[in-house]
Amino acid sequence: MISNADKILVAGATGGVGQLIVAKLLAKDLQVRALTRDRSKAESMFEQKVEIVEGDIRYPNTLTEGTDGINYIICCTGTTAFPSLRWDFANLFQPANNPEAVDGEGIKNLVNAATQDLKRFVFISSCGVLRKDEFPYSILNAFGVLDAKLTGEKAIIESGLPYTIIRPSRLIDGPYTSYDLNTLLRAKTDGKKAVEIEKGDRLNGETSRIDVANAAVESLFYDTTVNQEFSMINSGDRPNTTDWKQLFFDLQQS
Ligand SMILES: NC(=O)c1ccc[n+]([C@@H]2O[C@H](COP(=O)([O-])OP(=O)(O)OC[C@H]3O[C@@H](n4cnc5c(N)ncnc54)[C@H](OP(=O)(O)O)[C@@H]3O)[C@@H](O)[C@H]2O)c1
């Protein structure tokens, strides 16, 4: 069971899901190290409440400091599925920050940098990785994002490290831009619809970033999520409280 003696690396901490994950880990009094390519961005975001380490998952030699002494990794890095400025075409001296480099090779690099006694690698993947030929996933995969996510998943599974793979559908809910940490901590932490999770890759719909963050953090508290891959959407009426223990138990039994 995770405790506040453990240290958790959040790769992609400055992203939409990542910021929420950091806020939830801090709310549980857990120790967080944020991995970012831009220290000053992370410093202004996290207000000295987390340790910040610079690293780019395209480059294995930048990941040693980030993974040193880490017990858990939650990885929610990502880039756009279609060509955009975030692919960093401008720099001819480095590989584009595209899905193949980030979601595929980058995950391999992070897995290789993890210490062998890592207690869990939690990875935010995507719905559609096992049905890339079906609409709309065939369109989404036009530039290989689902191929790359599956490459990342395989690297994690084949590493032998304990893992949890979460496959959300199209992401909704903020933060769409950077909030300050206190705002995030005070933020209403539940989406509007109920959480639905299922083994494999058959769900379609929308998924709240808030619940992706909830699922990633809550999974660390339950052994029922070890070595599980599940897809996740929001649908139907939301109960007053989401019973993650029950959801994960049902998942394991299914
Ligand atoms: N958008 C969707 O509808 C959708 C659907 C299913 C799954 N997903 C997945 O859900 C996850 C979270 O999405 P989101 O909206 O929170 O993403 P986001 O806001 O775009 O955040 C992406 C994060 O990845 C980091 N990153 C990008 N390239 C990196 C690199 N080369 N090395 C290290 N870090 C890098 C960025 O950090 P820095 O810039 O600070 O380094 C940023 O923190 C992603 O894995 C995404 O693929 C998204």
Pocket lining: 98 vs ligand 1, CB cutoff 6 Å: no
User: 253 C-alpha to center of ligand 1: Å?
Assistant: 31
CATH of 7-253, one of 3.40.50.720, 3.40.50.620, 1.20.1250.20, 2.40.50.110: 3.40.50.720
Pocket lining: 238 vs ligand 1, CB cutoff 6 Å: no
Q: What's the confidence (pLDDT) of residue 165? A: 98
SS3 of the chain: the string is: CCCCCCEEEEECCCCHHHHHHHHHHHHCCCEEEEEECCHHHHHHHHCCCCEEEECCCCCHHHCHHHHCCCCEEEECCCCCCCCCHHHCCCCCCCCCCCHHHHHHHHHHHHHHHCCCCCCEEEEECCCCCCCCCCCCHHHHHHHCHHHHHHHHHHHHHHCCCCEEEEEECEEECCCCCCCCHHHHHHCCCCCCEEEEEEECCCCCCEEEHHHHHHHHHHHCCCHHHCCEEEEEEEEEECCCCCCHHHHHHHHHHC
Summarised one tens digit per residue, pLDDT across range 167-202 is 999 998 877 554 556 556 555 445 679 999 999 999
Mean pLDDT of 67-83: 97
User: 190 C-alpha to center of ligand 1: Å?
Assistant: 21
Q: What's the confidence (pLDDT) of residue 189? A: 44
Pocket lining: 152 vs ligand 1, CB cutoff 6 Å: no
Whether the model clears a pTM of 0.85, i.e. scores above it, the answer is yes
Mean pLDDT of 4-27: 96
Lowest mean pLDDT among 61-70, 92-101, 181-190: 181-190
- Structural domain boundaries of the chain? 7-253
Q: Which atom of ligand 1 is nearest to the CA of 168?
A: 6
Pocket lining: 41 vs ligand 1, CB cutoff 6 Å: yes
Pocket lining: 81 vs ligand 1, CB cutoff 6 Å: no
